[in-house]
Structure 1
Amino acid sequence: MTNKRLVILGGGESGVGTALLGKAKGYDVFVSDKGKIKDKYKDVLLNNEIEFEDEQHTESKILNADIVMKSPGIPNKVALVRQIREAGIKVVSEIEFASHYTEATLVAITGSNGKTTTATLTHHLLKQELDVGLAGNIGDSFAKQILNENHENYVLEVSSFQLDDIVDFKPNIAVITNITPDHLGRYEHKFENYIASKFRVVENQTEEDYFIYDVDDEVIVEYMKTHKIQSKKLPFSLTKVVEEGAYLENNKIVITIGNNKITMSTDNLALEGKHNVKNAMAASTVAHLLKIRKQTIRESLENFQGVEHRLENVLKINKVQYINDSKATNVNATYFALESMNAPTVWIVGGVDKGNEYKELFPFVNEKVKAIICLGVDNAKIMESFSNMVDVIVETQYMSEAVKIAYKLANAGDNVLLSPACASFDLFENYEDRGRQFKDAVRNL
């Protein structure tokens, strides 16, 4: 047993999970959160006799750490984090800390968009035949699952923030769904810093490991031209034929690994849209690598229910379909949403703009959007970008009002789509809160 001191910055899901695992492994654990720790997490810490503080950081109790686990929400440039590093104390993320305590096969999935759907879908394909947990950015923390459930396999949805603080973390299978400008405020507004951060998912891999990626994504392809990747590469594509990996041929997904080839029709995929064909390719390639039977993969792709707040069909009222895509917190995610609309659409958009460039949406807005409802504190940029493309563009600060306006504007056969292309922190707690308020408002019509 160790007597080392583990200090955890952030008392949320990953912080409390790490505290529990750390205590079980014999660390002297202290949790410190600058904000308020939620009651449900306080209760866990109290019940497990783990020392903590909130609404402050006591430096003397932090700078005596042997190792610090920093919650992904805390940027590296914060003064306290700098002090910790200057004191020569190792700073790690939860996935780094937890991965040292499991022998499981790890599948790590990252990307600007599609990572939650791909991770959830991959877990859905694997759980039919394997003992597998789903963690990372989703559900119960990875650390807590290792402590309580100890699965033989894990699918991890990992963000660039989590990857920023890895040291030895090495997934057996790494997936990058795509890379588009996002979160640039955390990366000195340099896209190349963000790209490098995503690619950390493969940095510790060896030739025994696998890397699955979108070869149609120019950003990924360009990066790979100048950076050597050790692992075995399995690209997927909608437009090119690949020797190993996955591609599309006559509406069929063809997956080749070694001498083994499987084909699957896309006709009955539960998820609609081209981007979901890619997500299905990535997930099926993982399943194929882990020896899931072809029949199981097929059936699972057909009965997968999708992810809450991601192109989620809420209700049909007077022949108008209401769709919750609150998880679309950047322009690229909304691009996929608008691309998959097959009826005139009333689009609810807006929130905290992360330096958005709306140009790529123009063709879809011209073709499919009949009215725009801006739901944000500052909608100037959206108004400016789209006001001459649609007949109706209105502003509101309330979800209930946005939905009532949409109800008035939509005719039978139309869609009402919440796909904000922005972060949610101006009017909502997070994108889940925004999505739930939308669904409640629709149900109350």
Structure 2
Amino acid sequence: MREEKRHIEKRLVVLGAGESGVGTVILGKKEGYTVFVSDKGKIKETYKKTLDELGVAWEEEQHTEAKILTATVVMKSPGIPDTVPLVVRLKERGVPVVSEIEFADNYTAATIVGITGSNGKTTTTMMTHHILKTGGLDVGVAGNIGYSFAKQVATTEVANYVLELSSFQLDGIEKFAPHIAVLTNITPDHLDRYEYKLEKYVASKFRIIKNQTEQDYFIYDADDLEIKKYLNTHEIKPQLLPFSLTKKFDQGAYLEEKNIVVKIDNNEFIMSTSDLALKGNHNVKNAMAAATVSQLLKIRKSTIRECLENFHGVEHRLENVLKINNVQYINDSKATNVNAAYYALDAMKSSTVWIVGGVDKGNDYSLLYPLINEKVKAIICLGIDNEKIINAFGNCVDNIVEAKSMKEAVKAAYSIAERNDNVLLSPACASFDLFKNYEDRGRQFKEAVREL
């Protein structure tokens, strides 16, 4: 079993009053902390109301160092980099600066399934939760999804959690150790946050297994180059359960004559890939990971099979919106990096008008050239600065249009697309130049399509 949870002293400062911050406040109050909340930006009215009802002191649009530096523990929002001078000062003083995941983990004895990766982690998390819940487990889902982990630990008692974990959340862990860790893949992403060094980003993802023991499990993509390199050069404690489209294993998941096979301790699960509700090789891998977790947690094979047959994915991930004049409009706003856009373009079976752009995170677009040449008839750049995209694809596509709003982008796509084409929003970039987040971007796309 996992080690006994430790208790911490009692002055908690929460930096950032978003979902994870306010969830941490709720849990902190329940556990007897004196809590102070500080946000450099504006705090949403609904969160202010919650803080006031809890009797918690808060400030917005500033960080009062005199109040913050007295903390015995600080929970930092994932959006705040470790390099911020205030965070550096806290660490110099020996004040633990942790993520919400680390803080909340101290107050639950639940079995944790932690899922990370550059792409596929949301789908794999939702798929896994769907199977476990349908299979009768008492299970919550949190992390990057829905209500914060801390809030759920404070307000509900469940025996299991499936957590979607970003590299930023993993950067703030010290003792956190999921019983089952899943790493879907590693491709360059958020490199602006890691000094543009891929090895630092890789190390961040592998923090998910740093505290695991021989009693724990690590499920990973054995086809992934960066994962293979790391495993070959580091000592790994948990039991390894790889998945692959090309290799076979005594323990793990693989393909055999278009069937997914999951083998764990002579227990075998088999399912045809043609029966999966979600199509594409990336979704075969997501299904392999989810099925492996479910096998470990003793879910019936018939339940796993039924759930994978009826799981239709998550909003903003290759989501069919509408067909207008025989043109299919597809919302893949969650594709915030090049590799996610690669999966989307690879899944297109006909000529595509591609809406791309936003805040570039150090993208290398050359990976996409073969798919652009094969499938993309026109590109619509949706961002404040589109120069890098225009330079990258100017030689691949004759028709490149710039748009400054989602409505403008969708109207441009409508005028270009012909019968049987696709219009695909798959931005390959972060959304923060024109939108609040990728959800806002996806919803604006769907709204603009419905108004055509």
Q: Shared fold (TM-score greater than 0.5)?
A: yes
Distance in 1 between residues matched to 2:343 and 2:378, nearest whole Å: 18
- Is the CA contact 1:2–1:27 (under 8 Å) kept in the aligned structure 2? no
Deviation at residue 291 of structure 1 after TM alignment: 0.6
Match for 2:98 among 86, 92, 96? 92
Q: Counterpart amino acid of 2:60?
A: D
1:333 partnered with 2:317? no
Could you tell me which residue of structure 1 aligns to residue 63 of structure 2?
57
Q: In structure 2, do the counterparts of structure 1 residues 244 and 2 end up closer, same or farther at CA, with 3 Å as the change threshold?
A: closer
- Is the CA contact 1:3–1:28 (under 8 Å) kept in the aligned structure 2? no
Match for 2:142 among 117, 131, 135? 135
Distance in 1 between residues matched to 2:212 and 2:74, nearest whole Å: 24
- Is the CA contact 1:253–1:263 (under 8 Å) kept in the aligned structure 2? yes
Could you tell me which residue of structure 1 aligns to residue 211 of structure 2?
204
Distance in 2 between residues matched to 1:107 and 1:26, nearest whole Å: 28
Could you tell me which residue of structure 2 aligns to residue 24 of structure 1?
30
Could you tell me which residue of structure 1 aligns to residue 42 of structure 2?
36
Give SS of 2:169's match.
helix
- Is the CA contact 1:346–1:409 (under 8 Å) kept in the aligned structure 2? yes
**1:170-319 map, 5 Å:** 170-319=177-326
Give SS of 1:134's match.
strand
Give SS of 2:275's match.
coil
Match for 1:108 among 111, 114, 134? 114
Distance in 2 between residues matched to 1:74 and 1:210, nearest whole Å: 30
Give SS of 2:274's match.
coil
* More moved, 332-341 vs 402-411: 402-411
1:395 partnered with 2:405? no
Distance in 2 between residues matched to 1:279 and 1:320, nearest whole Å: 28
**1:316-395 map, 5 Å:** 316-395=323-402
Q: Counterpart amino acid of 1:306?
A: G
Deviation at residue 388 of structure 1 after TM alignment: 2.4
Q: Counterpart amino acid of 1:351?
A: G
Deviation at residue 167 of structure 1 after TM alignment: 0.7
Question: C-alpha deviations, 1:34-87, integer Å up to 9, x for none?
Answer: 111111111111111111111111111111111111111110000100111111
Distance in 2 between residues matched to 1:92 and 1:382, nearest whole Å: 36
Could you tell me which residue of structure 2 aligns to residue 145 of structure 1?
152
**1:416-427 map, 5 Å:** 416-427=423-434
Could you tell me which residue of structure 2 aligns to residue 11 of structure 1?
17
* More moved, 404-413 vs 153-162: 404-413
Identity %: 68
Distance in 2 between residues matched to 1:404 and 1:40, nearest whole Å: 35
Deviation at residue 413 of structure 1 after TM alignment: 1.1
Distance in 1 between residues matched to 2:404 and 2:8, nearest whole Å: 53
Distance in 1 between residues matched to 2:288 and 2:232, nearest whole Å: 23
* More moved, 383-392 vs 334-343: 383-392
Distance in 2 between residues matched to 1:357 and 1:92, nearest whole Å: 32
Structure 1 segments (4+ residues) deviating >4 Å: none
Deviation at residue 146 of structure 1 after TM alignment: 0.8
- Is the CA contact 1:9–1:33 (under 8 Å) kept in the aligned structure 2? yes
1:118 partnered with 2:124? yes
Distance in 1 between residues matched to 2:78 and 2:387, nearest whole Å: 31
Deviation at residue 175 of structure 1 after TM alignment: 0.4
Deviation at residue 269 of structure 1 after TM alignment: 1.0
Distance in 2 between residues matched to 1:3 and 1:101, nearest whole Å: 14
* More moved, 154-163 vs 425-434: 425-434
Q: Counterpart amino acid of 1:405?
A: A
Question: C-alpha deviations, 1:336-357, integer Å up to 9, x for none?
Answer: 0000111111111111111211
* More moved, 350-359 vs 385-394: 385-394
Give SS of 2:402's match.
strand
In the superposition, the TM-score normalised over structure 2's length comes to 0.97
Q: How many correspondences in the alignment?
A: 445
In the superposition, the TM-score normalised over structure 1's length comes to 0.98
Deviation at residue 306 of structure 1 after TM alignment: 0.7
Output the aligned Cα RMSD.
1.1
1:440 partnered with 2:440? no
Distance in 1 between residues matched to 2:170 and 2:405, nearest whole Å: 36
Deviation at residue 391 of structure 1 after TM alignment: 3.0
Deviation at residue 3 of structure 1 after TM alignment: 6.5
- Is the CA contact 1:18–1:144 (under 8 Å) kept in the aligned structure 2? yes
Distance in 2 between residues matched to 1:160 and 1:390, nearest whole Å: 34
Deviation at residue 370 of structure 1 after TM alignment: 1.0
Deviation at residue 324 of structure 1 after TM alignment: 0.3
Give SS of 2:315's match.
coil
- Is the CA contact 1:2–1:25 (under 8 Å) kept in the aligned structure 2? no
Question: C-alpha deviations, 1:293-321, integer Å up to 9, x for none?
Answer: 11111111111121111111111111111
Give SS of 1:41's match.
helix
